[in-house]
Structure 1
Amino acid sequence: MDELSKPKKAKINSRWLRSPRIKAYVMARHGSECSFPGCGIQLYHGDQFFFGQIASIVSAVKHGPRYSPNSAAVSDTPDNYILLCPNHHAIIDRKPDIYTAEWLREARAEHLNKMLRALSIAGQPSVVMDERETISLAEAVKVWVDNKTNAAEEFWQVLFQKCPAVLGQLFPRSMFQLGSKCYVGGKSLNNKSGNLVDFVYSSPLTSNAVLMEIKTPVTKLLGRLYRGNAYSISDELSGSCVQVLNYKEQFLKEYHNLSANSTDQAFSAFNPKCVIVIGNISTEIVNPTQMKSFELFRSSVSGVEIVTYDELFEKVQSILEILGAES
């Protein structure tokens, strides 16, 4: 298992150790700036002294803020950390009933989205995606080639917004993008929470919807070796399958309300297809046992199609080569 996604079990004074790689990654990903909404303080004093603090969204220990029974599984992964100034770190931990795990994840997502416009992620070269609303398939392929290790979901969501035709290659029939970050139901009686799927596509002939969940090329596909002859599936991949199926369930339950309140193109819900774009086979899977484990899993998941980034862009590249040969 990759060091960035492997929980660290050693403790010092009841606080879990974080690997140096994760510390550096979180600092770079957040732009060394406090992520608390409205703060934005730079966490370097001069060129050397760094006074920022890496806060856990869910605690790894029972007495910690925002602890849950599933905390240990994600306690030392990059997505469980948010970079804050000391004042706001203290505030969120004193009032976990106000600053919940969901609240912190939303705050971090907003901050990282802002950072995408200003700096690279974890030392990667800056990405040039200009202010045009759309880019071509050829330009999208170039972005992929230059940014295969980009670990920000928001970056890839922006790319697919600018070039919907990339995801359109996954469908045997022509589809069009209805929207991104679409509400598919699940709000409570007090109008809180709710489920947002990354993308919704629809068939122009049947109007049937497709729900798409977008991860990153560096999201792990597999876990550790199990009993010498198989690999477990990563928490990220199995969790994504459950997540998108939950979106589908809510979508079907609330379809009539959603369609009645939609001002966009009409859509239908005839057993909507679910698709997850995640990981990179060419960089993670290095032996036949890993490949067998991954293929057995994704072929057995009912109702969810799992596609990796390298598979997706290889298909796009093939389309471009065919078009080039015909021109």
Structure 2
Amino acid sequence: MRRQRERLPRVLVEQAGNRCAFPDCEHDQYLQIAAIRAMSPGGPRYDPEVPTGPGSANFIILCASHHRLIDAEPHRFSVAILQEMRREQLACVQPAGDISHRPGSQEQSGGSAMTTLRDALVAWNERPEDADEDYWHRLFEDVPQVLAAAVPGSAMQLGSKCYVGGKSITNRHGSIVDFLLASRATQNVILTEIKRPSSPLVGPPYRGVFMPSNELSGSVVQVLGYRDALQKDFYSLAANSGSVRFEAFDPRALLVIGDLESKPLSADQRRSFDLFRNGLKDVIVITFDELFNNIADLLAMTRDHGD
């Protein structure tokens, strides 16, 4: 699988406008990538309870002098202060046509720095070989716009690891969906389940076609089970959701699974896969590469429009 190891530093420096993020510093030579939260125990601002995520939101571009300063005095330069430096720098240099920095287009997750669609695309290109579901869950949690781009219309993320009902009278066997999206216009929910890019999509041949893989078919049934639980327990869930408003009238589900680029299918396998997912009534199935190609196209269009 192709890797672009040098792309992350280059993109970070370009996003920073090729200058230091420290206020009033004009240095544009010998810039360095500094961690807002240290990646290892003992480092400045290290917090084992707050994962940094796989994107670039944990990094800030500084000159060598200010890099040494923030790491030598972490009591003065807290996570919140460095995140604000990064946000102001990106806001100053972001092209006007890039939707990832327009007001209202970003959300914060658990107090972490706001990240961008471009960050998510870099994370996809730089993904480790053994990236598991937790890796992708953190990325989609950090950059809610990615999953929103996978569904028609305008959607927002209500939350992650959401309880959607299904517990028995013994308080067991509850259903926890990875993400809950909602239409901005109608508040109708979209249940979202995340698997891995390495998940197989097709299984053995069957009378001239290929069966869906066990993981694909099982994931479809899994998210349909969540949908069923949500509809049955909707009124009790809505009553206990505080200020979070949502609806569940014939809701759809979204499943992100597999990678057609790194694990290409034969023409017959691709036909069978498309027949299977296109025949699903209530579940949208999209592969990771399709999702991130959509993001790349969106960024390219907004950049061209801004130019």
Shift of 1:136: 0.4
Shift of 1:117: 5.4
State how far apart, in whole Å, the 1-side matches of 2:171 and 2:302 are: 49
Deviations 1:106-155 (A, max 9, x none): xxxxxxxx99959xxxxxxx876638343100010000011174441111
Deviations 1:55-100 (A, max 9, x none): xxxxxxxxxxxxxxxxxxxxxxxxxxxxxxxxxxxxxxxxxxxxxx
Gaps of 5+ in 1: 1-113, 119-125
Match of 1:249 in 2: 228
Residue identity over aligned pairs, in percent, reads 38
Match of 1:169 in 2: 149
Q: Is the 8 A contact 2:55 2:139 kept in 1?
A: no
Q: Secondary structure at the match of 2:158?
A: strand
Q: Is the 8 A contact 2:57 2:119 kept in 1?
A: no
Match of 1:234 in 2: 213
Query: Which of 140, 143, 162 pairs up with 1:160?
Result: 140
Q: Secondary structure at the match of 2:170?
A: coil
Q: Is the 8 A contact 2:117 2:295 kept in 1?
A: yes
Shift of 1:223: 1.4
Kindly indicate whether residue 200 of structure 2 is the aligned counterpart of residue 220 of structure 1: yes
Q: Is the 8 A contact 1:217 1:278 kept in 2?
A: yes
Q: Secondary structure at the match of 1:279?
A: coil
When residues 314 and 115 of structure 1 are mapped into structure 2, their CA distance, relative to the original with a 3 A threshold, is farther
Gaps of 5+ in 2: 1-47, 59-78, 80-111
Which one scores higher on RCO, CA 8 angstroms, separation ≥ 6?
Answer: 2
Kindly indicate whether residue 176 of structure 2 is the aligned counterpart of residue 193 of structure 1: no
Match of 1:178 in 2: 158
Q: Secondary structure at the match of 2:253?
A: strand
Match of 2:302 in 1: 323
State how far apart, in whole Å, the 2-side matches of 1:127 and 1:163 are: 9
When residues 162 and 233 of structure 1 are mapped into structure 2, their CA distance, relative to the original with a 3 A threshold, is same
Q: Given the two structures, how large is their TM-score scaled by the length of structure 2?
A: 0.63
State how far apart, in whole Å, the 1-side matches of 2:243 and 2:229 are: 20
Shift of 1:291: 0.7
State how far apart, in whole Å, the 2-side matches of 1:200 and 1:286 are: 30
When residues 165 and 117 of structure 1 are mapped into structure 2, their CA distance, relative to the original with a 3 A threshold, is closer
Shift of 1:285: 2.7
State how far apart, in whole Å, the 2-side matches of 1:286 and 1:298 are: 15
Say how many residue pairs are matched. 207
State how far apart, in whole Å, the 2-side matches of 1:116 and 1:127 are: 14
Deviations 1:263-303 (A, max 9, x none): 24200011111110000011223321111111111111221
Kindly indicate whether residue 265 of structure 2 is the aligned counterpart of residue 286 of structure 1: yes
Query: Which of 237, 240, 247 pairs up with 1:261?
Result: 240
Which amino acid is the alignment partner of residue 323 of structure 1? T
Which amino acid is the alignment partner of residue 243 of structure 1? Q
| Root-mean-square deviation (Å) | 2.4
State how far apart, in whole Å, the 1-side matches of 2:203 and 2:241 are: 40
Q: Secondary structure at the match of 1:200?
A: strand
Q: Is the 8 A contact 1:169 1:315 kept in 2?
A: yes
State how far apart, in whole Å, the 2-side matches of 1:220 and 1:129 are: 31
State how far apart, in whole Å, the 1-side matches of 2:195 and 2:57 are: 19
Match of 1:299 in 2: 278
Shift of 1:173: 1.5
Q: Secondary structure at the match of 1:286?
A: coil
When residues 301 and 316 of structure 1 are mapped into structure 2, their CA distance, relative to the original with a 3 A threshold, is same
State how far apart, in whole Å, the 2-side matches of 1:264 and 1:256 are: 14
Query: Which of 172, 180, 183 pairs up with 1:203?
Result: 183
Deviations 1:165-191 (A, max 9, x none): 001112221111000000000111121
The within-5 A match list for 1:1-327 is: 130=58, 132-147=112-127, 149-227=129-207, 229-327=208-306
State how far apart, in whole Å, the 2-side matches of 1:115 and 1:219 are: 29
Q: Given the two structures, how large is their TM-score scaled by the length of structure 1?
A: 0.59
When residues 215 and 326 of structure 1 are mapped into structure 2, their CA distance, relative to the original with a 3 A threshold, is same
State how far apart, in whole Å, the 1-side matches of 2:50 and 2:269 are: 33
Deviations 1:178-236 (A, max 9, x none): 00000000111121220000001111221101000110111111112335x32221111
When residues 243 and 173 of structure 1 are mapped into structure 2, their CA distance, relative to the original with a 3 A threshold, is same
Q: Is the 8 A contact 2:57 2:113 kept in 1?
A: no
Q: Is the 8 A contact 1:150 1:216 kept in 2?
A: no
